[in-house]
A = this chain, B = another copy of it.
Amino acid sequence: MKVDGKDMRPIWFDTQSETVKVIDQRMLPHKFIVAELKTVDDIIDAIKQMFVRGAPLIGATGAFGVYNALKQISDVINYDDYLQTECQRLKDARPTAVNLAWGVDRVLRVVLKYDRYEERLKAAFKEACDIVEEEAENCRLIGQYGCSLIEDISLKKSIAKRQGQEDKKREQNKKTQQGEQSQKREKRVNILTHCNAGWLATVEYGTATAPIYTAFDKGIDIHVWVDETRPLNQGARLTAWELGKHGIPHTVITDNAGGHLMQHGMVDMVIVGTDRTTRTGDVANKIGTYLKALAANDNGVPFYVALPSSTFDWNLTDGINDIPIEERNPDEIRYVQGVDSYGNLISVLVPPEKSHAVNHAFDVTPARLVTGFITERGICKASEASILSLFPEYASRKQ
C-alpha cells in the first residue's frame, strides 16, 4: 500500500543484498525503521519481538525462515535433521497464530521434494515468494467480498436517511450547517476494528482493513473506530497510522469504549482479523476481541472476521480449550511506549513498581458470537458446514 505516495509492503526480498527485509513495526508510528533478517535467528527474533506481527505476515516471514535456514548450510547438502530442527524452532517462535506453522511446513514440504542443495534453495525461495503473493491476492479478494457488506449498510443508511429527510421536510425546513453535518454522519458507515489486521499484518490491504480500503477507494462514506488495543497499542500505533496514510477518517478509542458506542448506535459493523480460527468457527484474536463480540451481539451489531484460508486450523473444533494462548512478558503491560516532548521514543512505567501483571495475548471468541467470515472465496457463516461449503477440500481432514 502507499506510504507518503510510495508503494510499500511490510516484508520484501531485497535482490541487491539478497536478504529478507521487514518494517520494524515496534517503532511505528513514530519511527520508520527497516530491519534485515539474514539468519533463522533473525527471523525468530523478528517474530518473537514483534518486528512483524499479524497472522498472515508471521506466516510469510516464517516461510522465508526456511529459506534462511537453507542459506546458512550451503556446505551441507542433505542435512534433513538440521532442517527439521530449524523449522521446529521457527514454528515455536509464537504459539497462537496457525499461519506460522502453515507457512513453515508448506515451504519445508516443497524443499524436501528435492535432493540437491541448489534446487532446494531455489524451491524455498520460490515457495516463500508465492506465499507472499498469494496472501496479497487473498487479501485483495477479502476486500472485494467484504466491501459488499459495507455497501449494503451504506445503502440501507442512505435509504433511511432519505426517508428521514422526507419525513422532516413535511414538518420543518432544516437549513443549518450543523443539521447538514449530522445528516451526513447519519449516512456514514461506522466500522469498529480491534488490533491491527491491516496491510502491516499481512502483505497488502490487510484482512479486517481490506474491505475498508476497498470501500473507501470506491468512494463509500466510511469512518473507522480504532480500538487502541492494549497492551501493545497496535490499533493506536499501527491501524491509525495505516488509515491516516491512506486518508481514511478514523478515531482512536480505548478498548473500553466499544460497548458504549454500540449501545448508542454509533457502530454499524465490527470487522476484526484472527490469528487462528477453528474449522467450527471459534476465533482466536488479540485479547479483548471476545468482549467486543459480546457487545456486538448484545446490540445487534454485525460482527465479521476477515481471514485468508491459511488462518483456519482445519484440525481443531474447540477453540476455547484447544487453541494455545500465548502469555507474553508482563512488562508489555507495565511499560507504555510513545514519544516524549523532545520527540524521543521511550517507555514509561505506569503501575507501581512492585505490582505484578499478567499478559495473555489472545482470547477466543466462540462461533455463536460471529456473524460471518470474510474469506478469499467469499462470505460464510460461523459454522463448520458453512465454512466447509467454501473450502470443501478440507471436509475430510477432521481428526
Contact = CB atoms under 8 A, between A and B. Distances in A.
Contacts of A73: none
Contact of A351 (B29, B287, B348): B29
Contact of A287 (B250, B257, B346, B359): B257
Given A237-B351, A244-B352, A352-B241, A257 B358 contact: yes
Given A259-B291, A294-B298, A253 B358 contact: yes
A234 B170 CA distance: 50
Contacts of A29: 351-352
Contacts of A341: 346-347
Interface string A315-346: 00000100001000010011111111100001
Interface stretch (A37-45, A147-155, A225-233): A225-233
Contacts of A337: 348, 350
A228 B230 contact: yes
A356 interface: yes
Contact of A340 (B244, B260, B340, B354): B340
Contact of A356 (B251, B261, B336): B251
Given A339-B348, A348-B338, A256 B298 contact: no
B258 A333 contact: no
7 contacts: A230-B256, A250-B356, A252-B333, A256-B288, A290-B295, A335-B338, A336-B336
B334 A340 contact: no
A395 interface: no
Contacts of A340: 340, 346-348
B259 A288 contact: yes
A135 interface: no
A94 to B, nearest CB: 17
A360 interface: yes
Nearest to A241: B352
Interface of A: 29-30, 226, 228-231, 233, 236-237, 240-241, 244, 250-261, 263-264, 286-288, 290-292, 294-295, 298, 320, 325, 330, 333-341, 346-352, 354-360, 362-364
A1 B368 CA distance: 46
B352 A240 contact: yes
A251 B291 contact: no
Given A291-B256, A350-B338, A250 B320 contact: no
A240 B294 contact: no
Contacts of A229: 256
A134 B354 CA distance: 33
> Which 7 pairs show the lowest CB-CB distances between chains A and B?
A256-B288, A338-B348, A260-B363, A236-B351, A294-B294, A240-B355, A230-B254
Contacts of A363: 256-257, 259-260, 263
A291 B287 contact: no
A255 B255 contact: yes
Nearest to A242: B352
